[in-house]
Structures are given as structure tokens and as C-alpha cells.
Structure 1
């Protein structure tokens, strides 16, 4: 089975791919034998690759290293690759970037290097789904257990009662704000009414 990154085959012999899907849960049993756990969501999938590069094929090693160290010139982040592998695509593992480490270990008996690396999923299907869902506006609980939408009056923080003085200032502000475009005579009339 071949492995491709952005439609480029990874060079190597005896390529072995392992895919891991960490399922998040947290043990809630404490000291008891209870099996209760809290689900903490589906985490990013990981693809672990192991392969052999013969000593005479140093160019393969150079190419793998180049792919691992590649940086996106626009964002400055590590390059995200499109995965070409039957098992990965079967479980909707489409994009990944190199993660943790690239290991190269000399093998004397086979005259080559044992190469290993891990790729971590980029924008998983659950993550994309959550990004598409609209964010619902927060509700504030008002008096008598009613839910009040904060958007009812964005100028006043929720659960805030205005003092009498603040109510007068608010009314004056509304009156003066409405006549700002009026002529000078109207402004004087309004100012006299407030006095």
C-alpha cells in the first residue's frame, strides 16, 4: 500500500501505516470500581508511518526530511498535506501535518535507515462541523425565571436597574439626541424644558 502526500508518493521500502483515533473520555469512578466516564469529544486522528530507506538511496531520506520541515510561506505554519491512503480516506482522514518528531535510525543488518514519523489530522470532520454551526446568542435569566434576550437593549447591561437620576439623564440624552439636527431655537426650547 502506498502513502501519498499532496499526490506525491513517500519514497521507502516496507512502508507500514498505523492510524490512531483517540476517543476522549475521562474516568469518573474515583476509587470505586464504577465504569462511568465523561465523554470529552473525538480528538484528531494520527497517522504513524514506518519505512526503510536503503543507504544507497540517501535522496529518499532528503525528500522525507524536506516534506517534514516544509513551511507554508503565506502563513508561516507547518505545511498541511492532503493524505492519499485507502485506510485513511475510508475513515475520512483527509489532511494532516507532521507532528512531534521524525526519527531516523541506522539498521546494520539491512543496510539502511529505519524512518518513522507521525502526522496529525488538520481540521477533522467533527471540527469542520462545529465551525459551520451558528453560535447561538446567550440568554440572561431575568426576574420570575424568564429568559431575556440580551439584544433587547444592548446599551444597558443585563439585570441592571437604572437609578432615578440615571433615568432622567437617559431621557435628556434621548431628547437632545433627537434635536441635534434641529435649529438653534428648538435646542434652546428643549434646554429650557429640562431646567
Structure 2
């Protein structure tokens, strides 16, 4: 198993790459016991990477840190072309570093445990969303001389529609 970013092999051994993505949903049941949910979209895929670098190779650790801190001319995080079997299986080609980057010294095995997260750049769901046609809103003008009248409540009480008046009577009967 190996990880290559923009043609640079990420140094280290015992490499583990775990892919992960969230499917966002929103609960619609309110205070009821219903299980209705609405789809809120699929979030970009992330890759949790873990590897070990021997403590006698601090230059390798420095190279990985430099990759994580790299920015483009505009100050944005560098976008990397990724070569890795997990990323290939997930059809991910471009990633950036995100969230945390951690280094933990493992004195027992004289190495650093390095962990970081890569996030998919221009994700497939994002591309699909951008291709979907945007809804067109059309403003309609009622004309220059349109007047509306709002019925006034009688005796400072709101008038109830037929259905609401039935509900009100049922509510009063139950109370």
C-alpha cells in the first residue's frame, strides 16, 4: 500500500487509508415518533491516513508536514493528485489536506505515528449539483390598478374557515 501526492511518495510504513463520507439527512418528524427524513446531500469523501515514520528519519516527517502546510499562490491549500488503491476504488483523483494533522512519538518502537485527513476536491456530488439546472423564477406583475381588500375581523375575533371552526369546537369540547 502506498500514497502518492502530486508525484511525491509519502514516506513511512504501516500505511492505513480509511475512506469515509457523510449522507446528510434532516429529521422531519418534529415531536412525533415518525421516522421521516429529507435528503440534505452527500458530503465530499474524506480519507483518514495513518502511518509510521522512524525517529531516525526526521527529514521524512518534515516532508509530510511540508505537504500538509503547502498553499498555492492565492493562499489556498494545495490541491493534490492522489494515487492510492483506496482513492482509485472510490474514483477520487484530487484531494486537499483538511482538519487535523497529528504526530505522536512512539518511544516503545522509536517512531512517530502520523495521522492526517485528506478531503475530496470538487467531489462527484458537488459536480452533479453544479450540473443540475437552476430553478427559474418568473416575476409576474398584476398590473398597475390592482387593489386588494382584506376582510376585517368581526368583533376583534378572527373569522375561522369551515374546517378551523370545526377543529375549534372539537378542541373546546375536549377541554
Q: How does 1:1-195 map to 2 (within 5 A)?
A: 1-73=1-73, 75-140=74-139, 158-159=140-141, 161-162=143-144
Larger radius of gyration: 1
Q: Distance in 2 between matches of 1:55 and 1:111?
A: 6
Q: Given the two structures, how large is their TM-score scaled by the length of structure 1?
A: 0.68
1:28-63 Cα distance to aligned partner (Å, 9 max, x none): 344544332211111011000001110111011000
**TM-score (norm. length: structure 2):** 0.76
User: Where is the helix percentage greater, Structure 1 or Structure 2?
Assistant: 1
Structure 1 gap segments, 5+ residues each: 141-157, 164-195
Tell me how far apart the structure 2 counterparts of residues 134 and 35 of structure 1 sit (CA, whole Å). 30
Q: Is the 8 A contact 2:17 2:86 kept in 1?
A: no
**What RMSD, in angstroms, separates the aligned Cα atoms of the two structures?**
1.7
Structure of higher RCO (CA pairs closer than 8 Å, 6+ residues apart): 2
* Compared CA separation, residues 131 and 9, structure 1 to 2 (3 A): same
Gaps of 5+ in 2: 146-175
